[in-house]
Amino acid sequence: MNCKPILFLIAVTCCFFSCQEKKKANLNGNAFFGGEIVNPNSPYVVILKNNTVVDSLYLDKDNRFSYTFKDFEPGLFHFYDGREVQSVLIQPNDSLMFRLNTMDFDESLVFTGIGEKENNFLIDLFLLNDKLQDSVLKISQLEPDEFEEQLNQIKQIKQDKLDAFKSKYQTTALFDKLAQAKINYNYYYSKEAYPFINYRENERQIFDELSDDFYSYRDNVNYNDNDLKEYRPYVSFLRVHFNNIALQQHFEHSKDSEYNNQNIDYNIDKLNLIDQKVSDTFTKNKLLYYNMVKFINGSQNDEDFDKLLNLFKQKSTNQDHINKAETLVNTYKRLKPGKTLPEVTVIDKNDNFVLLNKLIKDKSVIYFWDTSKRSHLRDVHLKANDLKSKYPEIEFIAINVNDISTREQFDILQRNGLKHTNEYHFKKPNEALDLLAIRPINKVFLVDKNGVIINPKGNLFDIKFENELLGLINQ
């Protein structure tokens, strides 16, 4: 048995609790934060707040780091290990350590020290929400009244846990706000998403069935909450909320009955609503950019790109976002069907450099994977293997998008029970990500035997994808 992890936690816990009052006095309103990362993805940890880097810290020989917050605004911070990110609540006089194993990032994360109870509770609530997600998806197929009743029961489970925690421990107003927001906004998210994931009828019919008070909580939603603007439950809610209210508005002036996220008029409605309802510059710009990029990545009509881009440039005040959106639009214009693949260098299993378009000898599907997207990594390979067995006429080429070595790539595939067959990684990942517009990661290219693009925005998991493969074979 390896006792190092246990001894580390015991030592840290004893240190913190025996010196708790001393540390509170010595910190003078500052805060200490540190941790140990088992199987680190990189030699450093980045601490961020409001999408701005606070500091980058290198791990020592024991894969540990430490940092002292001075004259800081308490709230949610994020730490990033090079591949994954998680949030942490830092308050004055906290003296907080964590330990995690990147092989099981969120599930292995444990905090200890002053501030541990609050952060461990928030992580437990996060994991509980993930655990209950399948149940929420299942009840989302019910009639609205039944769905609402069962969703309320799920929410009450979380609320009971929070109430019990607050009755046992003295908590701060900021913790109370974050914990309650996690419960509320996960609940709101499920209600906003209901019309999109209930497959009984089309969205217009489902909207017509909803009671007048189904969305009554919207009256209390704060679109400009400074404490929550980088909080995952809040951000996720705002995204689906604007999808929902934009669709409702779109139905008022169109004859459409179904959700189509590539409809230009619907997306114009969405950007206008974001602009009208959100005044906080940070939140507004993030929402505008997210929806602009989502549209560009999904739409096949490059004339619509320019139409929405022009509106986006009127609404956004973030020049970096505008520059990136313009670059993405121009990239997709170069990648549209009929164009050839750009010259991008990949590295094969023998560490040879090869131009991507020189790899293409047959009609091919090119798909991508990211080490930080663990579920997608395995799912996309299994799906590609399944399709390859059905359509042996087509070559399937897998490319990793991370800055890793061939050996690291082999080890990751092996750990996931996958073969290193037709696997490559980019020589210059960041450059390739831009040249090929590889976002979202589930996007694939369909190309003919000459490397001419048939579809730059395919999706292996789309129910229509096999029809695209048959069309490619029959060309």
Q: How many CB atoms lie within 10 A of CB 332?
A: 18
CB-CB contact of 65 with 52 (8 Å): no
Residue given tokens 């508005």 in the structure block: 249
CB-CB contact of 315 with 274 (8 Å): yes
Cα separation, 315 vs 442, whole angstroms:
29
Containing 225, the helix (H) or strand (E) segment is none
Cα separation, 69 vs 54, whole angstroms:
9
Return the HEC string of 186-214. Answer: HHHHHHHHHHHHCCCCCHHHHHHHCCCCC
CB-CB contact of 364 with 447 (8 Å): yes
CB-CB contact of 234 with 181 (8 Å): yes
CB-based contacts of 197, cutoff 8 Å, min separation 6: 137, 140
CB-CB contact of 36 with 99 (8 Å): yes
pLDDT (tens digit per residue) in 136-148? 999 999 999 999 9
Cα separation, 399 vs 423, whole angstroms:
6
Closest CA to 204 of 138, 250, 145: 250
Which parts of the chain have pLDDT scores under 50?
A: 1-25
Whole-prediction pTM: 0.83
User: Strand, helix or coil at 163?
Assistant: helix
Burial 211-241 (b: 16+ CB within 10 A, else e): eeebbeeeeebebebebbbbbbbbbbbbbbb
CA distances from 44 to 38, 72, 77, 362, 373 (A): 12, 22, 16, 42, 20
Q: Work out the widest C-alpha separation in the chain, in whole angstroms.
A: 75
DSSP notation for 82-128: SS-EEEEEE-TT-EEEEEEEGGGHHHH-EEEEETHHHHHHHHHHHHH
- Cα 405 → chain centroid: 25
Closest CA to 83 of 450, 404, 335: 404
Amino acid at 473: I
pLDDT of residue 26: 62
pLDDT (tens digit per residue) in 97-127? 999 998 888 899 999 999 999 999 999 999 9
Torsions phi, psi for 207 (to 5 deg): -55, -40
Cα separation, 356 vs 317, whole angstroms:
37
In order of their start, the domains of the chain are 4-114 (2.60.40.10), 120-334 (no CATH), 345-473 (3.40.30.10)
Amino acid at 99: R
Per the structure block, which two tokens stand in for 245?
């209210």
Closest CA to 259 of 218, 298, 310, 221: 298
Angle between helix 232-252 and 281-298 (nearest 10): 60
pLDDT of residue 372: 80
Residue given tokens 């994931």 in the structure block: 197
Cα separation, 273 vs 243, whole angstroms:
10
